Structure 1
Amino acid sequence: MSEAADITEDAFLGGQLRLKQKRSGHRAGHDAILLAAATEARPGDRVVDFGAGVGTAGLALARRVPGVALSLVEIDPELAELARGNAAANAIAAETIVLDVTAGAEAFASNELSPDSVDVVLMNPPFNDPARHRGSPDQARHIAHVATEETLHAWVHAARRILRSNGVLTLIWRADDIADVLAALSRGFGSLSILPVHGEAGRPAIRVLVRAVKGGRAPTRLLPGLMLNDESNVPRNEVKAILEGRAALPLEP
């Protein structure tokens, strides 16, 4: 298969965003769009998307909130190059940075991500437990999906370092590991808002969307769950509006 044939172009946000991505490996999906919809930002905010892949979440946020200063951070050079091209093709101003999120402060600073310099971080870290999930033989897909014991804590630490006081972190994670989310956020973050996401009616949540404020002191809020599909396993109208870019999913008080 040629290099060109290995790339697909897919529509997101009801066609408002068109993204090129690899046919194999990690593919952008609902998680990235839900994350973008749940992230609050204002024009002029400096926004950093950790583990950006081909740029889905960050670019979807920038499409909803024009005028943010967006940086897409991705460890895989091939995906970063696709993200750079996707930003240009969609006429969205964005800086693409090839960087391991678990790198130290010096590596971040050399890419102009100094401590206390960012307003908003959003992230969809690898979250499959290697003890319960058979990793893909595709290395890029494996990196995108499978976490180590330290993944979440390392990513949260990096977000805490670059966020300004009262800066906001929004993340999506496995619902069955919410204890690890709370533990990772216990140092330096507060004012948590937690939204359980259910795939089917009557079933346990499959994801949690979490908003956390650096230095926040307000009590944690557990929000009413978001049901993706109705009893007939058809996407609910509320969810369709979010996925098509016609509605946001605010977690702020």
Structure 2
Amino acid sequence: MSEPACQVTEDAFLGGKLRLRQPKSGHRAGHDAMLLAAATPAHPGDCVVDFGAGVGAAGLAVASRVSGIKLVLAEIDEALVEMARSNATANAIAAEALVLDVTASAERFASAGLGPDSADVVLMNPPFNDACRHRTSPDKAREMAHVAAAETLERWIHASRRILKSGGNLVMIWRADGIAQTLAALGRGFGSLMILPVHANAASPAIRVLVRATKGGRAPTRLLAGLVLNDQAGRPTPQASRILTGEGLLPLAIT
């Protein structure tokens, strides 16, 4: 993290039930992380792995909802890993935070305790801005968190497929205009897809898609009714408010 990013803020999530310290500048957790958590199915005893966890927002939000999971927060930035550990402790949530490049080898994953067929759930919010259309940030940590290389999505999905047990679930959030790329990458080893578009408002095209995919799943793909975040006045819709305050779940989280 760069020098300015060493300054931190403490922010409330899930209606104040989760408090997180995070860098004042650079990549900051927000709505995407909470939507991802609300879309993640988990049960007590599950091994849940958060890829690209940052300060732990999405994974810790899942653990605050489902007690008794084994939570692993995997993040390449050492400073963010330290902050994720601190956030887990401050919120009294048991979690293991690892310095781990999601694109690393199977051997590196295994040495970190994430061998093949070891996870029940993987959730991820990969860097997803197209480098060809996204202005490069002078903040390298922010650039790494937001800008995708051509192979980013496929490599992250490949890593999740390797560590998931048969029947395990991958949950991810991605750009809505990248849905074709997402479906192509998930076509190798995943099925039973559930896709939920996310709209800024009812009159706008979707800006995000939330996708749940099952390793080895064979059920038909389901396209769900979209989630609308704001009404015409720019206020959060009742459904979005329930999700963001932790009082409701998205259909993808229901098994």
Q: TM-score, normalised by structure 1?
A: 0.97
- Report what 1:67 is aligned to: 68
* Cα distance in 1, alignment partners of residues 185 and 12 from structure 2: 34
Q: How does 1:74-223 map to 2 (within 5 A)?
A: 74-223=75-224
Q: Is the 8 A contact 1:39 1:250 kept in 2?
A: no
State yes or no: 1:49 paired with 2:36: no
- Aligned residue type for 1:64: R
Q: What CA distance in whole angstroms lies between the structure 2 residues aligned with 1:55 and 1:4?
A: 16
Q: CA offsets per residue over residues 172-208 of structure 1, 9 Å max, x none? A: 0000010000011000000000000000121100000
User: 1:4 Cα deviation (Å)?
Assistant: 10
Render the CA deviation track for 1:128-162: whole Å, top value 9, x for unaligned. 00100112110100000000010000000000000
CA distance in 2 between counterparts of 1:228 and 1:73 reads 28
Preserved CA contact (<8 Å) 2:229 2:240: yes
Return the offset for 1:248.
Answer: 1.2
Query: Percent identity among equivalent residues?
Result: 68
Deviation at 1:231, TM superposition (A): 1.6
Determine helix, strand or coil for the equivalent of 2:214: strand
For 2:222, give the aligned amino acid. R
Opposite residue 124 of structure 2, the aligned amino acid is: M
* Matched residue SS, 1:73: strand
The amino acid that maps onto 1:21 is Q
Gaps of 5+ in 2: none
| Equivalent residue, structure 1, for 2:236 | 235
Cα 1:4–1:187 change in 2 (3 A) is closer
SS of residue paired to 1:152: helix
Deviation at residue 5 of structure 1 after TM alignment: 7.6
Q: Equivalents in 2 of 1:188, 1:4: separation in Å?
A: 38
RMSD: 1.3
Deviation of 1:250 (Å): 2.5
Q: Count residues in correspondence.
A: 252
Q: Residue type matched to 1:50 in 2? A: F
Partner Cα distance (2:158, 2:194) in 1: 19
Q: Flag the 1:178–1:15 CA change in 2: closer, same or farther, 3 A.
A: same
C-alpha spacing 1:232/1:47, structure 2 compared with 1 (3 Å): same
Question: Following TM superposition, by how much is the alpha carbon of 1:238 offset from its aligned partner in structure 2, in angstroms?
Answer: 1.0
Range 174-183 or range 227-236, more displaced? 227-236
For 1:148, give the aligned amino acid: A
Distance 2:5 2:161 in 1: 39
The answer to whether the 8 A contact 2:5-2:26 is kept is no
One-letter code aligned to 2:203? G
Secondary structure in structure 2 of the residue aligned to 1:164: strand
Which whole-Å deviations, capped at 9, do the CAs of 1:83-135 have from their partners, x for residues lacking one? 00000000000000000000010000000000001000000000000100112
- Distance in 2 (CA, whole Å) between partners of 1:223 and 1:87 is 33
Q: Aligned partners of 2:136 and 2:246: how far apart in 1?
A: 32
